[in-house]
Amino acid sequence: MYERHSEKLLPAPEFAARVARHLLLALGLIGASLSVGMGGYRWIARMSWIDAFLNASMLLGGMGPVGELPTDSAKLFAGLYALYSGLVLIFSAGIILAPIGHRILHSLHLDDS
């Protein structure tokens, strides 16, 4: 997927395409996670779609839940979803930053010859 240290630095258009692919992958992960969270809040916590979107997106963004949760099952879902959301936030940042970090490290290890 990435060039080896003995290979030349990837040209700018190909690097931009790589960054775009990583960004799309991260956005897909976030979108799927948002859908799962909205579904859980909608059916387990009995929230409206807009409230489910607000709570799921706040957790995915690292902020925390907004509304009061009426049942123990809703609170259990929210806790598990919060743990999952923290991991998604870290994974997404890693997916997006990986090609940039690789390019920086690769440019530092290129031979001058």
- For residue 14, pLDDT over 70 is answered with yes
Residues 68-77 have pLDDT tens digits of 888 999 999 9
Cα separation, 107 vs 10, in Å, equals: 10
Residues 23-44 have pLDDT tens digits of 999 999 999 999 999 999 999 9
* More confident call, 82 vs 65: 82
Does pTM top 0.85 for this prediction? no
Residues 95-113 have pLDDT tens digits of 999 999 988 888 887 665 4
Q: Is residue 7, in this structure, part of any structural domain at all?
A: no
Q: Is residue 26, in this structure, part of any structural domain at all?
A: yes
Q: What is the CATH number of the domain that holds 59?
A: 1.10.287
Q: Is residue 5, in this structure, part of any structural domain at all?
A: no
Give me the half-sphere count of Cα atoms (radius 13 Å) on the Cβ side of residue 87.
Answer: 6
Q: Is residue 79, in this structure, part of any structural domain at all?
A: yes
What does the H/E/C string look like for 65-81? CCCCCCCHHHHHHHHHH
